């Protein structure tokens, strides 16, 4: 087992120091691979950068080669500098937390909360909130004390998100997303009678050539995207369908773009909604009033499932419709 201690760097900052002895069965193994197994909170990529920067000594001698293969009984000493202060400011913003441990945090994001600082939204984001909430438990990603955002929800989409608190957890979750092993389902309300009742929408998504603020399904270019949907109910007027969508890929605005392309834009979506006066007129009066006050697209990330990147445990979370979408659903009088 590694001997963990704290030591001061040249600038006075405290670094975490790991000292461990190479076991017989580890002899001849690459040192970065050996350390990634013995120190699971650090990803192999992070360890490689640390070794190359001179943070490691083997039997007291500096070693900068991640591919070096130590002998049994040799002593490895690794000094990990403290995570750099985050660029986004820590801001105390209330969060609905469904799960938190030393590796990750699962939150139920409200509509209106931007995920990451960007031009136009420099602060008051989910990232600012996570930095404030997690504090010292946020070990950081890539040597910076910030949460690892592995997927995003649009500002006006509510629902479940997972973020990594360590470099290794971030790498593990990114790999699961890349391998399409993360389960994500979304509840939504769309215009029109969706037929067939269950299906698959496939179409490359990229920046719209007509409006650079929008994404679009493209015949050339873009990135492959697949959305699976199931119609759960139809309103009494036939004007609105309630769907459950499952993402096979995760492109920007994917559900909004695919459903709009199929002629069934989301209710309340100002960018892709395909809303019209005749469609609104077909709704019950209470539903028209609820839709007018919605102020966002009727889309909610209601379930999230993944394998814990550290323990390997299968994890699953669900989120009930927030009140604004629940009221609109009730007023639509679904059969």
Any idea which residues carry the catalytic annotation? 154
**Residues 201-224: b if buried by 16+ CB within 10 A, e if exposed:** bebebbeeeeeeebbbbeeeebee
Tokens of 65: 């080669």
């Amino acid at each position: 087992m590694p001997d963990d201690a704290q030591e001061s760097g040249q600038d006075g900052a405290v670094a975490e120091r790991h000292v461990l002895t190479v076991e017989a069965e580890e002899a001849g193994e690459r040192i970065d691979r050996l350390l990634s197994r013995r120190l699971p909170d650090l990803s192999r990529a992070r360890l490689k950068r640390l070794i190359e920067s001179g943070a490691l000594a083997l039997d007291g001698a500096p070693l900068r080669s991640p591919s070096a293969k130590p002998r049994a009984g040799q002593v490895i000493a690794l000094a990990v500098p403290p995570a750099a202060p985050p660029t986004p400011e820590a801001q105390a913003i209330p969060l609905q937390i469904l799960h938190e441990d030393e590796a990750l945090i699962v939150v139920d994001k409200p509509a209106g909360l931007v995920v990451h600082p960007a031009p136009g939204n420099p602060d008051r984001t989910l990232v600012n909130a996570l930095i404030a909430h997690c504090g010292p438990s946020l070990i950081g990603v890539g040597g910076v004390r910030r949460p690892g955002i592995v997927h995003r929800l649009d500002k006006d989409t509510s629902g479940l998100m997972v973020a990594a608190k360590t470099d290794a957890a971030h790498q593990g979750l990114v790999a699961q997303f890349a391998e399409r092993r993360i389960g994500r389902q979304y509840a939504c309300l769309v215009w029109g009678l969706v037929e067939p009742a269950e299906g698959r929408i496939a179409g490359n998504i990229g920046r719209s050539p007509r409006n650079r603020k929008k994404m679009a399904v493209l015949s050339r270019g873009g990135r492959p995207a697949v959305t699976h949907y199931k119609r759960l109910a139809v309103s009494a007027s036939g004007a609105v369908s309630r769907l459950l969508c499952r993402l096979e890929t995760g492109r920007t605005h994917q559900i909004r773009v695919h459903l709009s392309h199929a002629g069934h834009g989301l209710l309340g979506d100002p960018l892709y909604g395909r809303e019209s006066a005749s469609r609104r007129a077909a709704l019950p009066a209470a539903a028209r009033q609820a839709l007018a006050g919605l102020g966002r697209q009727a889309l909610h990330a209601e379930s999230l499932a993944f394998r814990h990147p550290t323990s390997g445990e299968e994890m699953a979370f669900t989120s009930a419709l927030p009140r604004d979408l629940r009221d609109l659903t009730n007023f639509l009088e679904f059969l």
